[in-house]
A = this chain, B = another copy of it.
Amino acid sequence: MADTPDYRFHAELPVRFRDTDVGGHVHHSQALIYVEEARWAYWDEVAGRRGIESVDYILAEAQLRYRKRILYPGRVRVGVRVVSVGRTHFEMEYEIRDPEGALLVDARTVQVMYDYDSGRSVRVPDDLRRRLERHEGRELPRRRE
């Protein structure tokens, strides 16, 4: 996953004891939670959609590669970027790193723009594409290159 320009957005969060399982390292499902926190922060800041009520997409796919164990206590730093924007969907990539910069997990998700009232997928609004492109500093392809 990667020779796209680098991550311009990061969120940092503390690992919790409850995130761990036997062995004292973080349970693999928690990587989706860390990635989600980072996506909320990105969506708030970059897409300008604030709060739970303004979520306008649903998750269609997720993919994770586990590189190194995540330990407690500790903090993780999650890089987030949008790598493609299609007609109704968009793709994001993530890197979870420890404070020293070691790669712990990388991940990718696909989201579909969704109208919760009608229960249907909808087009990615033009202004959203522009905001995302302005932040990422490049034209975003329809599919991951």
**Chain A residues packing against B (C-beta within 8 Å):** 13-14, 16-18, 20-24, 27-30, 32-33, 36-37, 40, 44, 51-53, 58-66, 72-73, 116
Closest B residue by C-beta to A72: B52
- Nearest CB of B to A85, in Å: 19
A44 to B74, CA, bound (A): 13
B66 touches A59 (CB 8 A): yes
A18 touches B22 (CB 8 A): no
Chain B residues lying within 8 Å of A59, measured Cβ to Cβ, are 28, 66
Known: A51-B73, A72-B52, A73-B40. A33 touches B18 (CB 8 A): yes
A72 to B33, CA, bound (A): 14
A-B interface, 5 closest residue pairs, ranked by CB to CB distance from nearest: A29-B32, A24-B52, A63-B63, A62-B64, A28-B59
